[in-house]
Amino acid sequence: MRILAAMSGGVDSAVAAARAVEAGHDVVGVHLALSRAGGTLRTGSRGCCTIEDALDARRAADLLGIPFYVWDFSERFRDDVIDDFIAEYQAGRTPNPCMRCNEKIKFAALLERAIELGFDAVCTGHYATLIDGEQGLELHRASDNAKDQSYVLGVLTAEQLAHTYFPLGTTPSKAIVRAEAETRGLTVAQKPDSHDICFIPDGDTRGWLAEKVGTATGEIVDRSGAVVGSHEGAHGFTVGQRRGLKLGVPAADGKPRFVLEVRPVSNTVVVGPKEALAIAEIAGERFSWAGAGPVESSFDCHVQIRAHSEPVAAVATVSDDGVRVVPEIPLDGVAPGQTAVLYVGTRVLGQFTIDTTVSAVPVGA
């Protein structure tokens, strides 16, 4: 196949490209410049898309003997990922920018251009596997459960999966990938993995949002509506948050309180006991299937609400109104805007953005 290898400058994408070359494919490397003013150097595991990353990707491509290009996707990244991130927080939701980047950049903008240029597939260093099933191509978890990235790939459609290539999916561990990089002479063999949000390299999401959208004093209330504190912008809070609340009125039972809800229209933050974070039902309208969808409108599955959270057995119901999921045990600290990915065994069925949640603990209980 003609393969376009997305090379971030990290060890995973470098080894994935190397395996594609070794498999006999016609490979071209490409690094995505996602910032017009990218930093020069990384700080440990923080940041990405720096000049250092681009140079690391180029060195890997040179060692592999493949053509290499840098493509400027900064405008698309700003519109589809950064601006979306800000808008979601302003709407009182908690977005996942990695999901949006995979959906809108790596497997939409990049894949579209790759196909236009005559490539058969885009190769990435994601840890996930593709299997030919009875009803077509299926997306499954990686062999290494600790590194599995099928959750953040749940946004991919059947058509996109048909043009993807994940050489690392069956690798038993990340240690094997690093050892292989050493053997191949790749200089990124021991480069730290990236963490946190790539466009907020210092990790201060609250401060970054305050710079983008400003501050506005509002009330912090308990579940009864009583005012227990104040804040400088509801966008700086997310469901499940405990730190940084600075409440002026202690709880009657003396226990810590957590953010239960963010109301952007009234600029209000609702807090309550930890037990109230338990969620008995989630639902959303924006959903997609990663391959063939379920035959029945109601089906058993497992739902995962974070990249590294444990999947929970559940019953999902699909209708014209969207997807509704009732877990066997309550989910913890779910926020509108998060992505719920549905699995059957190791297979990714699809995903939806959570719009509404139902607490397992009624007000006053």
Positions marked active-site: 101, 198
Are the C-beta atoms of residues 315 and 332 closer than 8 Å to each other? no
Are the C-beta atoms of residues 142 and 150 closer than 8 Å to each other? yes
Distance CA 278, CA 331 (A): 6
Three-state helix/strand/coil letters over the chain: CEEEEECCCCHHHHHHHHHHHHCCCEEEEEEEECCCCCCCCCECCECCCCHHHHHHHHHHHHHHCCCEEEEECHHHHHHHHHHHHHHHHHCCCCCCHHHHHHHHHHHHHHHHHHHHCCCCEEECCCCCEEEEECCEEEEECCCCCCCCCCHHHCCCCHHHHCCEECCCCCCCCHHHHHHHHHHHCCCCCCCCCCCCCCCCCCCCHHHHHHHHHCCCCEEEECCCCCEEEEECCHHHCCCCCCCCCCCCCCCCCCCCCEEEEEECCCCEEEEECHHHHEEEEEEECCEEECCCCCCCCEEEEEEECCCCCCCEEEEEEEECCEEEEEECCCEECCCCCCEEEEEECCEEEEEEECCEEEECCCCCC
Backbone angles phi, psi at 298, to 5 degrees: -125, 135
The one-letter code for the residue type at 279 is: I
Exposure of 327 in the CB half-sphere (CA atoms within 13 A):
27
- Other beta carbons within 10 angstroms of residue 21's beta carbon come to 19
Tokens of 253: 């039972």
